[in-house]
Amino acid sequence: MTTTQPKRQPIPFGKYLLLDRINIGGMAEVWRGKMFGAGGFERLVAIKRILPNIAEDDEFISMFIDEAKISVQLNHANVAQIYELGQISNSYFIAMEYIPGKDMRAIFDRCRKKGEPAPVPLVAFVVAKMCEGLDYAHRKKDNLGRDLNIVHRDISPQNVLISFEGEVKVIDFGIAKAAGKATKTQAGILKGKFGYMSPEQIRGMPLDRRSDIFAIGVCLYEMLTGERLFVGDSDFSVLEKVRKAEVPPPSTYNRRIP
């Protein structure tokens, strides 16, 4: 006799219902939720909320609010749309577009399991769409026509979603450095994922859009070859490899690459 798992009850959260948790990181968790409106209107959303242990950290709270303020100004087919920044009791949250699909890391892992890299035209399409979304963010101006100087700073396969409909969305401008940002990244703290950082980012130098372009290049390389590019036994050896930025031709791993 098989026992069925009891179905999780949705959790009321302001005007939303939290259905199930999709993801949890060191600082925030993401839920699939539902919002309701007049006349039986319903919409699936993703709700990103700060974990209770971080909710007391003022610097992180301002970073979280920065993310929402930056992202809400971005309205592009290849950037995940933010609907609302809210606070319920003591908990800040962002409600955003829910994208049913997989992230690029899951696709990379699936290809590795199968023992062959993703098809070249597919990778080229996904990366071209990433570039469109990021180019839009990089050029974004405020209402007075001043450059916002947005740099994502954390482009990595986990932050690119590919929907089952074939849409490509860049997510998580959480540590983006924009003009008019409340939190200043503390010196010596590397934010972002080491294997996707640009040499200037690991050196703690000032960053511009080129740093994101470097990270897109790393994603492109890895998706085409099915191999990690900057990988090592420790964070230090990874940082050392990024600093040298030595890149063997991708065709060494995948003969199909022209």
Q: For residue 235, what pLDDT is reported?
A: 84
Top CATH class, 101-252: mainly alpha
Task: State what percent of residues in the chain have pLDDT above 70.
Answer: 90
Between CA 229 and CA 250 the distance in angstroms is 10
- Residues annotated catalytic, as ranges: 154
pLDDT at 158 over 80: yes
* pLDDT confidence band for 1 (50 / 70 / 90): low
Tens-place pLDDT, residues 209-238? 999 999 999 999 999 999 999 988 888 888
Pick the closest to residue 173 from 78, 107, 43, 100 (CA basis): 78
CA dist 144 → 141, 147, 148 (Å): 8, 9, 10
Q: Which residues pair with 95 in a beta bridge?
A: 47, 84
27 vs 78, more confident: 78
Residue type, 12: P
Residue type, 108: F
Superfamily for domain range 12-97: Phosphorylase Kinase; domain 1 (3.30.200.20)
**Domain residue spans in the chain?**
12-97, 101-252
Between CA 37 and CA 125 the distance in angstroms is 36
Order of strands, edge to edge, in the sheet holding 160-163? Answer: 101-103, 160-163, 168-170
Between CA 75 and CA 196 the distance in angstroms is 25
Number of Cβ within a 10 Å radius of residue 12: 10
Q: For residue 4, what pLDDT is reported?
A: 60
Between CA 55 and CA 35 the distance in angstroms is 24
Q: For residue 180, what pLDDT is reported?
A: 60
Tens-place pLDDT, residues 33-90? 999 888 888 999 999 988 877 777 787 788 888 878 888 889 999 999 999 889 888 7
Q: For residue 6, what pLDDT is reported?
A: 62
Q: Do residues 151 and 211 make contact, with C-beta atoms less than 8 angstroms apart?
A: yes
Tens-place pLDDT, residues 77-125? 999 999 988 988 878 898 999 999 999 999 999 999 999 899 999 999 9
Average pLDDT of every residue of the chain: 88
Q: For residue 182, what pLDDT is reported?
A: 59
Beta strands in 51-159 (DSSP E): 82-88, 91-97, 101-103
Q: For residue 101, what pLDDT is reported?
A: 95
